[in-house]
């Protein structure tokens, strides 16, 4: 129970460029995992951020895949998942949210709530995941803090309660007052190291000496207003996902990050029960269960290895113990399970509920697979979306056919995109949720697998999986639409509709056929 209680597993989510990766970097700095923080985009600071380890992430300054990092802090074991903000990689982020117990939403102080933040918040609401909001970039001119709080309540449809308060903003930003612990901590801004802070009594005379008279008066009146408008903070309402605590700060300058971390480890939930199809799995059960929520190819380019990320739901995971792979009905053992620090990994002997374990994968895992000590369990709720963009993939270098086939297979296992084979002409079609993924696939094929591909345009509206109890009607449908029929990697029938009209006509003409838009049915 002690091991379960001290685990905190959470994801950092937001719109692109709000500062997720920078915040992750500063949390690692306070957790003592790194001594000097890297930057996402900066000419002077040559060290790149720890969680953006892929070549393409370093070049573009965006996160393309979720990275897992863990560290110990004041007796707690913290597991962070830094997710991509870009909507083309939203699927990766949605899957990550199934594997965490709480989330931190990063909001840009100048821009407020943006489109992608709303979508991700909707997923948290649906799953009743507790969230903490961190308003970042207070060192730039932005909206008034009170206006921001109103906007958060309206846009994210959740009550808020500030637990820290900024002293001015932009050029005149001087630090943050910690409401949760009732004290003022002043820092000197430093982008790469943790600086000493000064403790000041807010009601005494020292405050004026540190921040000047005008700011001191404003801070006192703001705090009175906060106490008057917002109810007393109650941890239970946060755990029930009814109230979101709000922190202000600047991740780049280390302001407000420690307040966030200190409060987070105290109030955030330890691992919670997981819903399986058969029953609810409690974390304190003695037997091990876990599920695979992500697969990454080529964490180490020298070895071409795939790693499957397994979230431990209950019991204790032990190295070399026999576990049942439910989908295949086989017993498997893992001699080198690993724990992550983005790309660096170390072998572990045991893991507890809430931990994320990396298992070497030689092609036996798919996203959503369950591991148990013999019980037949299925953890559901890891969606694969119906792709919206399609292109034919062609080999650009006939000498490298094998490498291309291997590369496509491993990248499709990651669930980044989906592969269909057209039954009419036998050509391979790649379907993705966003344009950026085609560029990432092409880049990774060339740099990780030494294979070149080229894309050919294909205008399709949607891919949908079809099934029917009426064999005759299914055959008739396939005959009539034979140019638009394809198979996915499981060998299931997929109908490639080239317009919304064609899809609606097909649905009304063939009443006994079911059309599915996620591959989970």
Picking from 52-61, 198-207, 378-387, 433-442, which range would have the lowest pLDDT averaged per residue?
52-61
Q: For 307-343, give one letter per residue: b (16+ CB within 10 A) or e.
A: bbbbbbbbbbbeeeeebbbbeeeeeeebeebbbbbbe
CATH match for 2-267 among 3.40.50.1970, 3.40.50.300, 3.40.50.10420, 3.40.50.280: 3.40.50.300
Q: What is the pLDDT of residues 133-174, one digit of tens each?
A: 999 888 788 888 888 889 988 888 889 888 888 888 777 777
Q: What is the pLDDT of residues 242-258, one digit of tens each?
A: 888 998 888 887 788 88
Q: What is the pLDDT of residue 478?
A: 87
Superfamily of the domain at 277-372? P-loop containing nucleotide triphosphate hydrolases (3.40.50.300)
Instruction: Decide: pTM greater than 0.85.
Output: no
Q: What is the pLDDT of residue 231?
A: 83
Q: What is the pLDDT of residue 127?
A: 78
Q: What is the pLDDT of residue 206?
A: 67
Phi and psi, residue 509, nearest 5°: -75, -35
Picking from 56-70, 362-376, 395-409, 501-515, which range would have the lowest pLDDT averaged per residue?
56-70
pLDDT at residue 57 greater than cutoff 80: no
Distance (Å, rounded) from C-alpha 323 to C-alpha 400?
38
Confidence of residue 521 (pLDDT cuts 50, 70, 90): very low
Q: Are 276 and 217 in contact (CB under 8 A)?
A: no
Q: What is the pLDDT of residue 197?
A: 63
Average pLDDT over residues 371-397: 80
SS3 233: coil
DSSP letter at 484 equals G
Superfamily of the domain at 389-516? Peptide chain release factor 3, domain III (3.30.70.3280)
Question: For residue 214, what are the CA distances in angstroms to 147, 165, 222?
Answer: 21, 16, 12
Q: What is the pLDDT of residue 516?
A: 80
DSSP letter at 513 equals E
CA angle 45, 50, 52 (to 5 degrees): 95
- Residue 177, CB-side half-sphere exposure with 13 Å CA sphere: 26
Q: Are 105 and 121 in contact (CB under 8 A)?
A: yes
Q: Helix %, strand %, coil % for the chain, to 5?
A: 30, 30, 40
Distance (Å, rounded) from C-alpha 184 to C-alpha 176?
7
| % pLDDT > 90, the chain | 2
Distance (Å, rounded) from C-alpha 413 to C-alpha 142?
42
pLDDT at residue 121 greater than cutoff 80: yes
Confidence of residue 431 (pLDDT cuts 50, 70, 90): confident
Centroid of chain to Cα 189: 29
pLDDT at residue 41 greater than cutoff 60: no
Average pLDDT over residues 501-521: 80
Q: What is the pLDDT of residues 350-377, one digit of tens each?
A: 888 888 888 887 778 887 888 888 888 8
Q: What is the pLDDT of residues 19-28, one digit of tens each?
A: 777 787 777 7
C-alpha closest to that of 428 among 392, 473, 389: 392
Confidence of residue 51 (pLDDT cuts 50, 70, 90): low
Give me the residues paired with residue 419 across strands. 430
pLDDT at residue 53 greater than cutoff 50: no
Q: Are 149 and 160 in contact (CB under 8 A)?
A: yes
Picking from 52-56, 203-207, 232-236, 256-260, which range would have the lowest pLDDT averaged per residue?
52-56
C-alpha closest to that of 357 among 70, 102, 71, 92: 70
SS3 7: strand
**Whole-number average pLDDT of the chain:** 79
Q: What is the pLDDT of residues 418-428, one digit of tens each?
A: 889 998 888 99
Confidence of residue 439 (pLDDT cuts 50, 70, 90): confident
Tallying the residues shown for the chain, one arrives at: 521
Distance (Å, rounded) from C-alpha 112 to C-alpha 231?
23
pLDDT at residue 303 greater than cutoff 70: no
pLDDT at residue 46 greater than cutoff 50: no
Q: What is the pLDDT of residue 95?
A: 76
Domain borders along the chain are: 2-267, 277-372, 389-516
What DSSP string describes 488-507? -TT--EEEEESSHHHHHHHH
Domains 2-267 and 389-516 share a fold: no
């Amino acid at each position: 129970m002690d091991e379960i209680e001290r685990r905190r597993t959470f994801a950092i989510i937001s719109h692109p460029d709000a500062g997720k990766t920078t915040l992750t970097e500063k949390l690692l700095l306070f957790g003592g995992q790194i001594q000097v923080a890297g930057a996402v985009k900066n000419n002077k600071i040559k060290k790149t951020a720890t969680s953006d380890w892929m070549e393409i992430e370093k070049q573009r300054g965006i996160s393309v895949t979720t990275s897992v990092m863990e560290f110990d802090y004041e007796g707690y074991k913290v597991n962070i998942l830094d997710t991509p903000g870009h909507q083309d990689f939203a699927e990766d982020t949605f899957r990550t949210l199934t594997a965490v117990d709480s989330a931190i939403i990063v909001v840009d102080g100048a821009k407020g709530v943006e489109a992608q933040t709303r979508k991700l918040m909707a997923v948290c609401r649906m799953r009743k995941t507790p969230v903490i909001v961190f308003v970042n970039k207070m060192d730039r001119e932005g909206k008034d803090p009170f206006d921001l709080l109103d906007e958060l309540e309206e846009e994210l449809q959740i009550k808020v309660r500030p637990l820290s308060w900024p002293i001015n903003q932009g050029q005149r930003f001087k630090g943050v007052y910690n409401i949760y612990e009732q004290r003022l901590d002043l820092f000197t801004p430093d982008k790469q190291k943790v600086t000493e802070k000064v403790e000041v009594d807010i009601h005494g005379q020292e405050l004026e000496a540190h921040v000047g008279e005008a700011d001191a008066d404003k801070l006192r009146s703001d705090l009175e207003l906060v106490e008057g408008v917002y109810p007393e903070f109650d941890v239970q309402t946060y755990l029930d996902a009814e109230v979101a605590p709000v922190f202000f700060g600047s991740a780049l300058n280390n302001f407000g990050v420690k307040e966030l971390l200190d409060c987070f480890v105290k109030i955030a939930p330890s691992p919670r029960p997981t819903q399986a199809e058969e029953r609810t799995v409690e974390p304190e059960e003695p037997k091990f269960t876990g599920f695979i929520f992500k697969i990454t190819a080529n964490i180490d380019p020298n070895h071409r290895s795939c790693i499957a990320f397994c979230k431990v739901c209950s019991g204790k995971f032990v190295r070399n113990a026999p576990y049942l792979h439910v989908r295949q009905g086989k017993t498997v053992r893992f001699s080198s399970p690993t724990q992550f620090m983005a790309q660096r990994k170390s072998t572990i002997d045991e893991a507890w509920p809430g931990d994320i374990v990396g298992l070497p994968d030689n092609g036996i895992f798919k996203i959503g697979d369950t591991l148990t000590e013999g019980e037949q369990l299925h953890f559901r709720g890891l969606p694969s979306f119906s792709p919206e963009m399609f292109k034919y993939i062609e080999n650009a270098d006939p000498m490298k056919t094998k490498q291309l086939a291997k590369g496509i297979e491993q990248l499709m296992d990651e669930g980044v995109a989906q592969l269909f084979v057209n039954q009419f002409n036998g050509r391979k079609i790649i379907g993705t949720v966003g344009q950026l993924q085609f560029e990432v696939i092409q880049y990774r094929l060339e740099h990780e697998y030494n294979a070149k591909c080229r894309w050919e345009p294909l205008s399709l509206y949607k891919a949908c999986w079809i099934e029917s109890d009426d064999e005759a009607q299914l055959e008739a449908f396939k005959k009539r639409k034979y140019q638009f029929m394809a198979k996915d990697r499981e060998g299931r029938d997929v109908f490639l509709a080239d317009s919304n009209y064609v899809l609606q006509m097909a649905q009304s003409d063939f009443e006994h056929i079911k059309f599915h838009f996620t591959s989970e049915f």
